[in-house]
Structure 1
């Protein structure tokens, strides 16, 4: 079987119209704009309404990415939706496939929380490299506001909603230069969106668990410590696999969780801050959407140019973390 290279040829993004600033958030919990901004770098976030859907914003982002790539929805062979918050627990990728009219595409969801886009990027690349598929749409999208406790100021100030997408295509030149993925389930307790069962008796001493998912809980100090230690390590390993040095990176594109994490990782890698892409001040932590959302903004602002080398890293619940080194464009 012939092997192919991978090129990332299009990007797109979409966010809900609802805008929640730190000042307005002070009406819900005891906090302040200064407290939130100093500790996180976040100034505002976008929130989905009760009438909004993940499918809608993911479709909007996907159409932009497909248009930039210069192909049609019917050219897409595979759709991977990285999300932890589907509209349907059975998955939303097929709904997006239908909305796009991507009639030739296989579609499925994958869940790796805030690492989802990087894990999805590596997963999609394997299908292309082995010649199975030629055109893949990778989406990172989450509506975390559905699962936030709006009375818990430790978490409600952090999260926002959004979607980002990229088109990955088979290419003679392989633009995915290196990657490394990691998981540590022993640290799962640090960040959860857990199912809470309630016992329901049926017949003959048979019980079943009926319940719902509980709001997000997080040990912020542990997650910060984990990210600042593990993310530089995994980027170093991905750079080694790519046979590149840190000073060859044009852009550092991290999961947009906390500005202090972005700054600490850059400092540990000795990457100057002008190479760090950050838009979390406007969107907060959008989980699987954060990397493609920031990527698309930087591309459309002509900040990221064809051939630029990007070190991307996602990290979060699982705990999972990973890095991918890629060159933008064809």
Structure 2
């Protein structure tokens, strides 16, 4: 299996650090020196995960020389789904005119590579000829914009990739997926889950006495929990640096290649300090890592495909290059993929 093409879409509105100074106790210099982030894109009216994913997907399909009906599998990675049901993948399938299975998965910032791994099984087995994998987020809508420890870090966007079969020795050479549920409280957002569905309380108000008596427990189930994205930054930093190094080394070892043979590493764009620390541990120059977090910030599941698309578009990836994707995120999760690049476009 190989990546035939990539596509991306960012919201129109950019929000610079200097604009945050007007309502947060912070400054551009403080944010940039600690994260490497200068601005992020924010989904505006009329923009959501479906519209962003649709544009990114169409871009990838055009570059692959195919149409929506050629897609036999659609997997969407997202933390911030537009709604609980139906899945974003099914809505996207409808808009694209695609066919076959379509579903979402949530592995947070590792999601795109998780989706890539799942889709690769369908392609490599011959079950489908082409698969579309999407990573998308509208994180701005689950942030507490008074909390400078989180809201300065994240942005919105969507990235997509078309997968297709390839000859042995090309395309996907090694994969790494992992999770440690013991860290499930380190990055969390309680809002949007069934434990916080305030509508349940509304459904009981004014209902018949027998119904209220039987289901009254629902009206007090978790409504006072914090709905916003929260993070233990210190612990996440240590985990991220360690796992980023481990994933890179493991992928190279399993593929039987040296670190010096990898042309480009595309890491999850969480924080410049994390990437710098991992680069030092790997004894690699920062130039071997593609970075776009200065203008995009952390876009969770969209982070890796957005950075990969940009690297390809800028000519930083050539046919035959070894490209390594690596991510880490809430759960805690981590993932990686080493690819011998085959795409000509």
Structure-2 separation of matches of 1:101 and 1:233 = 40
Structure-2 separation of matches of 1:61 and 1:328 = 20
Label 1:216 to 1:205 Cα distance change in 2 as closer, same or farther (>3 A). Answer: closer
**TM-score relative to the length of structure 2:** 0.90
Q: How far does the alpha carbon of each residue in 1:72-127 deviate from its partner, in whole angstroms, 9 at most, with x for none?
A: 1111000100001111212211111111122x232111110000011111111111
Structure-2 separation of matches of 1:308 and 1:89 = 40
Structure-2 separation of matches of 1:56 and 1:213 = 28
Label 1:205 to 1:115 Cα distance change in 2 as closer, same or farther (>3 A). Answer: closer
Q: Which residue of 1 aligns with 2:142?
A: 147
Question: Which one of 198, 205, 219 corresponds to residue 232 of structure 2?
Answer: 219
Q: Does 1:294 align with 2:307?
A: yes
Q: Does 1:159 align with 2:154?
A: yes
Which has the larger Rg? 2
Q: Does 1:63 align with 2:58?
A: yes
Question: Which one of 252, 257, 261 corresponds to residue 244 of structure 1?
Answer: 257
Q: Provide the aligned C-alpha RMSD in A.
A: 1.6
Q: Does 1:98 align with 2:108?
A: no
Q: Which residue of 2 aligns with 1:35?
A: 30
Q: Which residue of 1 aligns with 2:213?
A: 203
Structure-2 separation of matches of 1:219 and 1:249 = 32
Contact 1:192 1:216 in 2 (8 A): yes
Q: Which residue of 2 aligns with 1:83?
A: 78
Q: Which residue of 1 aligns with 2:106?
A: 111
Which ranges of structure 1 fall in alignment gaps of 5 or more residues? Answer: 1-5
Contact 1:180 1:235 in 2 (8 A): no
Which ranges of structure 2 fall in alignment gaps of 5 or more residues? Answer: 205-211
**Deviation at residue 213 of structure 1 after TM alignment:** 7.1
Q: How far does the alpha carbon of each residue in 1:208-250 deviate from its partner, in whole angstroms, 9 at most, with x for none?
A: 2374871000011110000111221122112111111111110
**TM-score relative to the length of structure 1:** 0.94
Question: Which one of 174, 177, 183 corresponds to residue 179 of structure 2?
Answer: 183
Q: Which residue of 2 aligns with 1:3?
A: none
SS at match of 1:171: coil
Q: Which residue of 2 aligns with 1:26?
A: 21
Q: Give the 4+ runs in structure 1 shifted more than 6 A.
A: none
**Deviation at residue 38 of structure 1 after TM alignment:** 0.3
Q: Which residue of 1 aligns with 2:40?
A: 45
**Deviation at residue 181 of structure 1 after TM alignment:** 1.1
Q: Does 1:192 align with 2:193?
A: no
Q: Which residue of 2 aligns with 1:9?
A: 4
Q: How far does the alpha carbon of each residue in 1:272-312 deviate from its partner, in whole angstroms, 9 at most, with x for none?
A: 21111000000100000011101111111111112211111
Name the structure where strand makes up a greater proportion of residues.
Answer: 1
**Deviation at residue 51 of structure 1 after TM alignment:** 2.5
Label 1:210 to 1:50 Cα distance change in 2 as closer, same or farther (>3 A). Answer: farther
SS at match of 2:213: coil
Contact 1:13 1:293 in 2 (8 A): yes
Structure-2 separation of matches of 1:277 and 1:234 = 16
Q: Does 1:228 align with 2:241?
A: yes
Structure-1 separation of matches of 2:112 and 2:215 = 44
**Deviation at residue 205 of structure 1 after TM alignment:** 6.4
Structure-1 separation of matches of 2:215 and 2:93 = 44
Label 1:205 to 1:272 Cα distance change in 2 as closer, same or farther (>3 A). Answer: closer
